[in-house]
Amino acid sequence: DVKVTQSSRYLVKRTGEKVFLECVQDMDHENMFWYRQDPGLGLRLIYFSYDVKMKEKGDIPEGYSVSREKKERFSLILESASTNQTSMYLCASSLGAAGDRETQYFGPGTRLLVL
């Protein structure tokens, strides 16, 4: 079974802090994704990565950056946290061109509260 883990289930930070959210997958997937989930808005794509050191902006990248130094790890960075970034953050991964690249596997989520 694919396993996607996220470093924290719950996180409380202060406005202006730098925040790191970590995601690790154990199935050698090429693609990794970061979403935020807000009530009534569904899931919105922040950034995704199709290879090590490669990244592309999703629909709402403002205020976020990402890092992918190793294939299994994809980090989401909030450079200066703001209250409007309070949300549930979900990481996902999928195979690349060689396999079932449509199906995404999700981690348990990190619920971030910015005070």
Partner 1 sequence: AQSVTQLGSHVSVSEGALVLLRCNYSSSVPPYLFWYVQYPNQGLQLLLKYTTGATLVKGINGFEAEFKKSETSFHLTKPSAHMSDAAEYFCAVSDHYGGATNKLIFGTGTLLAVQP
Binding site residues, partner 1, CB under 8 A: 4, 9, 30-31, 33, 40-45, 48, 50, 56, 58, 90, 92, 94, 96-97, 101-109, 111
Tell me whether residue 71 is exposed, middle or buried, using C-beta atoms within 10 angstroms of its C-beta: 0 to 12, 13 to 18, 19 or more.
middle
Smallest distance, partner 1 to C-beta of residue 78, A = 20
Q: For CA atoms 76, 82, 84, 87, give the dihedral sign.
A: positive
**Which residue, 28 or 79, is less far from partner 1 as judged by CB?**
28
**Which residue, 81 or 91, is less far from partner 1 as judged by CB?**
91
Which one-letter DSSP state was computed for residue 88? E
Smallest distance, partner 1 to C-beta of residue 51, A = 9
**Which residue, 16 or 108, is less far from partner 1 as judged by CB?**
108
Yes or no: say if 105 and 24 are a contact pair by the CB < 8 Å rule.
no
Smallest distance, partner 1 to C-beta of residue 55, A = 11
Q: CB-based contacts of 8: which residues, under 8 Å, 6+ apart? A: 21, 110
